[in-house]
Chain A
Amino acid sequence: MSLELQGVSQVVDGQQQIAPTDLVLEKGTMNVLLGPTSSGKTSLMRLMAGLDRPSTGRIFSSGRDVTNEPVQARNVAMVYQEFINYPGMTVFDNIASPLRLKGQSRKEVDRAVRSTAEMLKLTPVLQRKPLALSGGQQQRCALARALVKKAALVLLDEPLANLDYKLREELRVEIPRIFEQAGSIFVYATTEPEEALLLGGNTATLWEGQVTQFGPTLSVYRKPQTLTTAQVFSDPPMNFIQGKKAGDSLSLNGGASLGLRKQSAALSDATYTLGFRAHHIKLQQHEVSQPGSPPLHLQCTLVASEVTGSETFLHLRYGETTWVAVASGTHVMTQGKQVDIWLDGAHLYLFDLTGCLVACGDNAV
């Protein structure tokens, strides 16, 4: 099936929770809702599931209007951040419960439960009660229950948020592959850009109840159409600085100026925001892979450095602005030190004052 939202919005007590939204989700796809806390991820999922009625707009399932159909009639499954299982039942009975409700035969139930359990590595613990399991296994059990009923729409609301870092990593790698086999529409809410990238598929970025962009995950990441989308889809945060454009040069607030190429030189003279990601700041000129024009060279002051093992996060000050750079290897530097950085022209974004992307990559500078 496909799920289509046409102008769906939600207003609660006069407050707009979800701005009018159009979205089409296709069968067999993974769709990430990426946004910070209270940006509308859960509200949007509840509308998709039929748990809440939209204030305006229609929802279609494979072309059929289901706007007024209650959740029970819709063939959806949901997994929450909290591990929700029936504590009195074994893992087997937990996974079997949605099938038994549908009145499937014992043999069918047994086969479906065992194959789903196998997929989620729960076979050895099928006879245990959920509370005797680790957090990771409890959430696997909840995932299995959502998958076993082969719902057309499976909604996952930050399902890994309550798990340890390492367990999260393990499940993140497994989840896309498990989902590929299932063929349902998956909607997965997260606050973490890294998680969206690992899940792949499509991503919708959310900000204050508005879907700011929707498309293949990597293309949203590489080509955010607005400054807001760039901010939502960036961890470490994207670095920004404003500059005044005059002709084919952009003078940054902080002193330096850079030459603009055709596409951006043709823009009207005004103030623009230059954006670049933390890992595109280079500490050596030769690390910048740019054919043609020379890379942008800037001098910053070190505010703080954080070593993570393989990499170092450098917090840099340039004029009034602070940036984060990621450098591979260990760089121990004293606070206040002058740091030379080079920016790769192939990875710059130029936004106008309304926050719209006007040029990026090789076309920008």
Chain B
Amino acid sequence: MAQITLSDLAHSYVHNGAETGDFALKTLNHVWQDGGAYALLGPSGCGKTTLLNIISGLITPSRGRVLFDGVDMTESPAEKRNIAQVFQFPVVYDTMTVRENLAFPLKNRGLARAAIQARVALIAEMMGLGEILDRKARGLPADAKQKISLARGMVRESVNAILFDEPLTVIDPQLKWELRTQLKSLHRELRHTMIYVTHDQVEALTFADTVVMMHEGRVLQTGTPESLFETPAHTFVGHFIGSPGMNFLEAKIEGSRGVINGQCFPLGANYRTASGFTQIGIRPEYIQFSADEGLPVVVKHVEDVGRRRIVHAELANSPISVSVPEGQFFDNTMARVRFIPDKINIFVDDWRVQGEAL
């Protein structure tokens, strides 16, 4: 296991690319702590797979260094890096039994038979593969095959890191619950450095202790799931995390109050006047309907999704969504909304600004 340091890393698929548009990955510095559970989250094309391939050695970066425990590995080929990788689609040897599939990476490295047996048994048990160990992989359903891929990724004890590239994409929602918990408990037991790449926020936030959120080749924020939700560093993070995402409304900020369309509301902190395009960001979960308090809205339509209703409305001609939990009263007489002051974030030119405590 190792601490992996990315130092002034950047990558362009265009030879001699100029910094801005050509770079699939813009300059970034990051340290993956030994034993951490990380998620690399972002939409398609954000550069997350490029970054993963640089760590595993499939791509040599245009600029910067990759260090494993301080040792420069930038030019080392993939096979020298001792990294395990699990892909979106199962990679399984059909003619082998499940046991042989799991043992394969260990056999390749010449481990003793007894050690292989013990390790395979442990991982198989933890992944719930114990009962099918002696079955041929051929003919097993897709989710069992992906379990084998995951287990094989984790079977080697000495790896520097395990990289997962959207490993649950082909798995049905119900099974995802089971596999996610298994992955998490495996991480807790084995303490490998794990980096999990996904565009699915639920997978990222539930798996990782630290989430690295990327957009257009840039890391926008690195933090705990809670911090990405509560205090997104950039409007894109606010939009991407949460369903529906954070609402953004153009507003004037005057100290500890905000003004939209001439109407004031309290903020949870004090802000110095800033120049630039100013927006407040408020999550649908932190808006409350009221009959007589707050800012006027026009309700457009309501989606009942069982455990909550999502109300789509307009406030000062901008769309906002409000989440109303099941069992909470809501009807058309409630034409105003209140924002929970502590939950309001302020963004200037798309970046979050920190206020001073009141």
Contact = CB atoms under 8 A, between A and B. Distances in A.
Interface stretch (B103-111, B235-243, B265-273, B330-338): B235-243
B304 A191 contact: no
Given A167-B43, A279-B326, A309-B226, A304 B173 contact: no
Interface string A16-33: 000000000000000000
B243 A304 contact: no
Contacts of A231: 174
Q: Which of A165, A222, A289 has the most CB of B within 10 A?
A: A165
B14 interface: no
A235 interface: yes
B173 A191 contact: yes
A192 interface: yes
Contacts of B248: none
B142 interface: yes
A307 B303 contact: no
Contacts of B201: 165, 308-309
Interface string B217-252: 000000011101110000000011111110000000
A222 B143 CA distance: 29
A164 B44 contact: yes
Contacts of A200: 303-304
B30 interface: no
A289 to B, nearest CB: 6
Contacts of B205: 306-309
A277 B142 contact: no
Given A166-B240, A221-B306, A304 B174 contact: no
Contacts of A135: 44
B348 to A, nearest CB: 23
Given A169-B244, A304-B184, A308-B205, A164 B43 contact: yes
A279 to B, nearest CB: 5
10 contacts: A134-B45, A164-B199, A173-B303, A191-B172, A218-B304, A218-B306, A279-B326, A308-B206, A309-B201, A309-B229
A307 B241 CA distance: 13
- Mostly, the A contact residues are mixed
A236 interface: yes
B42 to A, nearest CB: 9
B331 to A, nearest CB: 18
A303 B178 CA distance: 12
Contacts of B312: 173
Interface in B163-192: 172-174, 177, 180-181, 184-185, 188
B202 interface: yes
Contacts of A306: 180-181, 184, 205-207
A169 B246 CA distance: 13
Contacts of B177: 235-237, 324
B181 to A, nearest CB: 5
Contacts of B242: 309-310
Contacts of B304: 197, 200, 218
Contacts of A307: 205-206, 224-226
A15 B311 CA distance: 46
B139 interface: no
Given A165-B201, A222-B306, 7 more contacts: A164-B43, A166-B239, A237-B177, A307-B205, A308-B202, A309-B242, A310-B229
B228 A166 contact: no
A315 interface: yes
A231 B174 CA distance: 9
Q: Which of A197, A308, A326, A328 neighbours the largest number of chain B CB atoms within 10 Å of its CB? A: A308
A328 to B, nearest CB: 8
A277 B226 CA distance: 24
B306 A309 contact: no
A228 to B, nearest CB: 12
A198 B302 CA distance: 10
A46 B349 CA distance: 50
Going nearest first, the 9 A-B pairs with the smallest beta carbon separation are: A309-B229, A306-B206, A197-B305, A164-B199, A36-B172, A308-B205, A235-B173, A279-B307, A165-B200
Interface string B275-318: 00000000101000000000000000001111100001000000
